[in-house]
Amino acid sequence: MNIVAVLLSDYVGFMLLVALLISSRIRRSHGKLELKVFSIITILTMIACVVDFFSFFSDGRDGFLWKTVNLIGNTYCFVVNPIFIAAWCLYEDLKLYKSMARVKRIYRYAFIPAIILVIIALGNMFFPMIFYIDDMNVYHRLPLSYAFYVVDLCYLIHSGVVLKKYEKQYGKISFFPLYLMAVPVVLGCALQMMFYGVSLIWVSLAVGLTSIYMSLQNEFSYIDILTNLYNRAYLDYKMEAMLKEKNPKVGAIMIDVDYFKSINDTYGHSTGDEALIDVARVIIFSKPDKAIATRFAGDEFILLVNNTNDDEMRKIIESIRGELKYFNETENRPYKLSLSLGYTLFDPDRDTTDTFFKRMDDNMYVEKSEKHR
């Protein structure tokens, strides 16, 4: 065991996570549940980088104090390991689906392996099953410790499956390259499992978390912070790019939330924000892969579709209405969502961007006016 190498590894991991927490403080202050989970993951890993070093440093040193540090430090690392990987899966699911109903349905079972490993790690302090500290205060790994690596791998596979299923149903997600998280973790776990006495797991987790966060920074430029849909800047950028194509076939749907002021006045602005998040969810779950969902302004949303036609646009609208009906029937909200929709197709011979958006807006208000009679 090279204590200097362990110190450098844990120091790098610790400093990466400190920098991550400082640079993400504004983003994390918005209080979204997935950001709270991300913060917990980061803090637990940061602490583990410190604890891991002292566990290695105390190994083989005489005295009750060092033996206690060795035992508690290694116990902490084994406890945090399954918590980290299970919480990562929770974070990913919340970020993609934004559904507490889904989380409660799936993760009451998905967390069982992690909970079992945490109980085993705590019980190991009294009945050695995964490691033991001998009379010379030297740490020894037991065969059951490999179960932690197996469970970690299973959770990573689960994470990949969740992402692939989401992308297959709703289209590829930007700014969330899972491999940036998975590759360092898999390599770190594999190397630590093969080479007894090295410490790479926690710095690998730190590298993975930092890599993911750096990629997610692009969301600040193009993602609406409340709904996680694209914002108007991205809409303008994509619209300009589409219209530069030869014979563009661009369509768009304006989506407006009915009676939104009533939701705000009755239940408060925080519930109003929740309603907008729910609308974004309905749109994401009902749109085809190629459609770009944006929050245009306030309670107005636009779905931009390239290479489309009138029949496809009508089908998308019917899909939105179907998803809206399903949402209202299955989600226990104090309000029922109602949407007015209007669509149009871009005419290269007579349209400008302004006339295109105005016609779409006018078509939406035809439906809205019917509801407010």
Q: What is the pLDDT of residues 206-227, one digit of tens each?
A: 988 888 888 777 767 788 888 8
Where does the pLDDT of residue 301 fall: very low under 50, low under 70, confident under 90, or very high at 90 and above? Answer: very high
**Confidence tier at 297 by pLDDT (50, 70, 90):** confident
What is the pLDDT at residue 30?
66
Q: How confident is the model at residue 53, as a pLDDT?
A: 93
Domain boundary among 154, 189, 217: 217
From 81, 88, 58, select the one nearest 71 (Cα to Cα).
58
The answer to whether residues 127 and 178 belong to one domain is yes
Q: What is the mean pLDDT of residues 233-258?
A: 88
pTM: 0.67
Q: If pLDDT is split at 50, 70 and 90, which confidence band does 169 have?
A: confident
Q: Number of folded domains in the chain?
A: 2
Look up the CATH number of the domain holding residue 276. Answer: 3.30.70.270
Report the b/e string of 155-168 with b at 16+ CB within 10 A.
Answer: bbebbeebbeebee
First-to-last C-alpha distance (Å) of the chain: 78
pLDDT of 82 over the 90 cut: yes
Q: Tell me phi and psi for residue 255, to 5 degrees.
A: -125, 120
CATH number (domain holding residue 121): 1.20.1070
Helix ranges (DSSP H) in the chain: 3-23, 25-28, 33-58, 64-97, 100-110, 112-123, 146-170, 179-194, 201-216, 219-222, 232-243, 260-267, 269-286, 310-330, 353-371
Give the pLDDT confidence of 36-46 residue by residue, as tens digits: 898 999 999 99
> For the chain, what is the radius of gyration of the CA atoms?
25
Tell whether 227 is covered by a domain: no
Rounded mean pLDDT, 171-198? 74
Write out the residue range of the structural domain in which residue 50 sits. 3-217
Judge if 186 and 273 occupy the same domain. Answer: no
226: in domain: no
Residue 302 pLDDT? 94
**Same domain, yes or no: 256 and 162:** no
Helix (H, G, I), strand (E, B) or coil at 140: strand
Task: Please report, as a single letter, which amino acid is at residue 281.
Answer: R
Same domain, 210 and 237: no
